[in-house]
């Protein structure tokens, strides 16, 4: 199994460059097609949210402000793409052109709609979706898109840090706690095994802990994949913090972990470990659910 097609979301925010650089690094490593996607906000979609009790003039001002903001972010996203294409001599092709299988190519796509929906629907026809790490808790749109891609696309998600790595990953860390989500993350990480010079299985010991990293290493060995194992005490830290600290101490340059979600009544409620990793990770994080 390999990765042949990568979708990279370039939202026009400060994390867009990190997402695009990360995606193109992987595109080169896998000889894959990379499609950079920017989704413009449709001003019409904000009306149901803000219209009640507002005058026509106020609604018009909000729509115009939304339109201007969307235009500015679209320009910034396209600038990021154009600058990287020029500096890295990316093999850019038109989005409507059929990419050649087994050849690294890059295309730009700019559409208008709802970012979360467009990312999910398009992402189902790619092997991997790369999104920027949300800037902070106030980045509601980015968080909603990340959640939708993780839970609804049926594909693994790679969350790129604001400062991208210098090269494609060669040391893969697998977060293992024996759950279904963790197993899905390991399964989704299989294409990266071919790139990895080193694989580390990390298990954080918690109350009621039952998972054993050696069991996962044994499973991987059956597939001819060698992995070292690390049992990590939780201490006073949160699970996500401990995972990141351990991955950093080991020198890992990509972390694969399960994505955990609970309440579907809110736009995003992720398990504590997942949330803290998303907020703090300085390395790419591969997630599956």
Q: Which domains does the chain have, with CATH numbers?
A: 5-160 (3.40.50.620), 171-288 (3.40.50.620)
pLDDT in tens, 220-270: 999 999 999 999 988 888 888 999 999 999 999 999 999 875 444 333 445
pLDDT in tens, 137-170: 545 668 889 989 999 999 999 999 999 889 999 9
Contact (CB, 8 A) for 191 and 30:
yes
Report the 10 Å Cβ neighbour count for 133. 23
Token pair, residue 35, equals 């499609």
pLDDT in tens, 53-67: 566 676 677 777 778
Give the H or E element holding residue 201: strand 198-205
Report pTM.
0.91
């Amino acid at each position: 199994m390999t990765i042949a097609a990568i979708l990279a979301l370039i939202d026009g925010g400060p994390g867009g460059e990190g997402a695009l650089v990360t995606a193109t690094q992987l595109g080169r490593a896998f000889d894959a097609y990379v499609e950079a996607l920017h989704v413009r906000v449709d001003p019409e979609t904000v009306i149901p949210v803000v219209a009640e009790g507002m005058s026509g003039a106020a609604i018009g001002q909000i729509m115009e402000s939304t339109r201007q903001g969307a235009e500015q972010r679209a320009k910034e996203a396209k600038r990021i793409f154009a600058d990287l294409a020029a500096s890295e001599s990316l093999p850019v092709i038109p989005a409507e052109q059929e990419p050649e299988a087994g050849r690294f190519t890059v295309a730009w796509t700019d559409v208008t709609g709802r970012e979360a929906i467009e990312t999910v629907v398009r992402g189902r026809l790619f092997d991997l979706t790369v999104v920027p790490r949300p800037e902070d808790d106030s980045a509601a749109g980015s968080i909603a898109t990340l959640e939708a891609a993780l839970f609804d696309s049926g594909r693994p998600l790679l969350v790129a840090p604001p400062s991208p790595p210098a090269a494609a990953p060669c040391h893969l860390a697998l977060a293992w706690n024996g759950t279904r989500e963790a197993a899905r993350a390991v399964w989704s990480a299989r294409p990266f095994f071919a790139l990895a010079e080193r694989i580390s299985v990390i298990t954080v010991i918690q109350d009621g802990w039952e998972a054993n990293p050696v069991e996962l290493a044994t499973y991987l060995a059956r597939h001819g994949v060698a992995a070292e194992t690390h049992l990590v005490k939780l201490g006073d830290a949160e699970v996500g913090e401990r995972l990141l600290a351990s991955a950093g101490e080991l020198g890992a340059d990509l972390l694969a972990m399960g994505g955990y979600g609970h309440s579907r009544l809110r736009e995003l409620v992720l398990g504590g470990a997942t949330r803290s990793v998303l907020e703090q990770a300085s390395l790419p994080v591969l997630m599956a659910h």
